[in-house]
Chains A and B, each alone.
Chain A
Amino acid sequence: KNQVEQSPQSLIILEGKNCTLQCNYTVSPFSNLRWYKQDTGRGPVSLTIMTFSENTKSNGRYTATLDADTKQSSLHITASQLSDSASYICVVSPRGSTLGRLYFGRGTQLTVWP
């Protein structure tokens, strides 16, 4: 069964600290993996998209890593800011899908305290 599991479910850190969010998936065959940021009351916004051949991709203070062999990804946030408080969602796209199907994780709720 195709699944995307994220951990932790929630996380609280102090402003300026770093953190790492985890994503494990069983989707196969695999096309690409995405990380989205969703602020409360808003739609998700894309942070990174990686293919199976990419190991790392950065977007400012956000760095995503991918290990396609172990089916694991992580999102590292450096020097956190209050505006980083949001839900971070890992999304996996299967290869060959004609239905536009994406598999969404349940998200990690990050809270950054001053």
Chain B
Amino acid sequence: NAGVTQTPKFQVLKTGQSMTLQCAQDMNHNSMYWYRQDPGMGLRLIYYSASEGTTDKGEVPNGYNVSRLNKREFSLRLESAAPSQTSVYFCASASGPASGLYEQYFGPGTRLTVT
């Protein structure tokens, strides 16, 4: 039982390049999330998926797209990377919505630098 896994762990991109961050969970969770964490700021929600086939924008969705490929996998795509997207990205999963008492389990993070 690996929990939530993310790939890659580190990535350096040049401005304008594209890439996809991968996330997978093996806990049969319905809800999955993508967050970004910047120095001195709290985690901010980028996108959320309540179930397979559904996605919703979070607080900071601009410049990102997501795909809930199946119940296990939730990917985050940067189509044209910008220096402002330099951050640590966390994927999380939970059995149910955040408004319920469902614990969110976080992955180890992807450290992305855009030059």
In the complex, are the beta carbons of B107 and A99 less than 8 A apart?
no
**A interface: dominant SS:** loop
Chain B CB within 8 A of A51 CB: yes
**Partner pick for A100 among B33, B40, B43, B108, CB 8 A cutoff:** B33
Contact assessment for A32 and B101 in the assembled complex, using a CB-CB cutoff below 8 Å: yes
| Given known contacts A43-B107, A46-B103, A100 and B42 CB-to-CB distance under 8 angstroms | no
Contacts of B42 in A (CB 8 A): 4, 89, 103-107
Asked if B26 is at the interface of the complex by the 8 Å CB criterion, the answer is no
Please tell me the size bucket of the interface on A. Answer: 20 to 34
Asked whether B19 is an interface residue with its Cβ less than 8 Å from the other chain, the reply is no
Cα A31 to Cα B101 with chains together (Å) = 9
B interface residue numbers (CB < 8 A to A) = 4, 31, 33, 40-45, 48, 50, 56-59, 90, 92, 97-101, 103-109
Which 8 A-B pairs rank lowest in CB-CB distance, beginning with the nearest? Answer: A43-B106, A104-B42, A100-B48, A104-B43, A100-B98, A97-B99, A31-B99, A93-B98
